[in-house]
Copies of this chain bind each other. A is one copy, B any other.
């Protein structure tokens, strides 16, 4: 079943395709009579312009690519929701790709988006594709980095300050529990995790605390890795009294781990970078670094829109400082 084309409309309306186009795009002169008649026929035939053809001709797709590690992480979904709404208002649409923080999947995703001729890419990156990314920006497709910086690749960036709140968090834990604390880092190849980890180490160093090596774990930002870390940390006969977890999902996993081990959640105080939606419902000593996914989403959308309108704009960095909340 063939789709209705602009030619069909032109034929039944008894005018040229140019006129149809002018009416629908509201550019160029066209008499009111003809306009009404065209609109009428368009409705009768249920004509929907072919966006593929339009994109080819105009050499613009109004598509923006979005690459994230994990679609089920509520943090990213909140980011995306506002992001998408903002872009939709300006008639842009999003194409999502998921990478599971895997560099080669990220490369595939990037190539796919380029072949789709998206006009910009918003990337919460796994890293490892610096060369490709440079080619992309050089060839004129703007990239906005979201949540994660990529060393060796300079681009617009929207992220959260990972130092300040982590230092505050660690200060708090050390002051309260001395050496009896543990740390669950994220995957250190990701900037966000690395920065948080550096802030952790800095604070430990300055405070002259001495933390057991086996109490400093490296997870991968996943729920499962937080759970394993918990098992490792709490295995000890006298376990730590406080723990810093570098993201929401690992914190979630840590609590699941406590449950596995039949340890009451409030036995250990947790400071988590990133909130858990259900934190009011659990009986736990939990302080969180409160992220602002909506702000991140909005800022990245704005930044992308600005960049699309002004290719030559200087590189922009938007850094949000999340607060530690008890």
Contacts and interface: CB of A to CB of B under 8 A. Distances in A.
A47 to B, nearest CB: 10
A3 B140 CA distance: 9
A106 to B, nearest CB: 14
Interface string A132-150: 0001001110000000000
Contacts of A71: 77, 80-81, 84
B280 A282 contact: no
Interface in A61-115: 61, 71-72, 74, 77-78, 80-81, 84, 93-96, 98, 111-112, 114-115
Interface in A41-67: 46, 48-53, 55-56, 61
Contacts of A48: 111, 114-115
B72 A78 contact: yes
Contacts of A276: 278
A315 interface: no
B115 A51 contact: yes
| Interface magnitude class on chain A | 35 or more
Contacts of A221: none
A303 interface: no
Interface stretch (A14-22, A229-237, A252-260): A252-260
Nearest to A97: B93
Contacts of A238: none
A313 interface: no
Contacts of A135: 46
Interface in A229-285: 252, 255-256, 259, 265, 276-278, 280-283
Nearest to A53: B56
A139 B81 CA distance: 31
Copies in the complex: 2
B115 A49 contact: yes
A252 B280 contact: no
A229 B311 CA distance: 50
A277 B182 CA distance: 25
A223 B320 CA distance: 27
A252 B252 CA distance: 16
A246 to B, nearest CB: 19
Interface in A298-325: none
B139 A3 contact: yes
Interface of A: 1, 3, 46, 48-53, 55-56, 61, 71-72, 74, 77-78, 80-81, 84, 93-96, 98, 111-112, 114-117, 135, 138-140, 252, 255-256, 259, 265, 276-278, 280-283
Given A51-B115, A252-B277, 18 more contacts: A1-B139, A3-B117, A3-B139, A49-B115, A50-B115, A52-B56, A52-B116, A52-B117, A71-B80, A71-B81, A71-B84, A72-B81, A84-B98, A93-B112, A95-B95, A259-B280, A281-B281, A283-B283
5 contacts: A72-B77, A96-B96, A259-B280, A259-B281, A278-B281
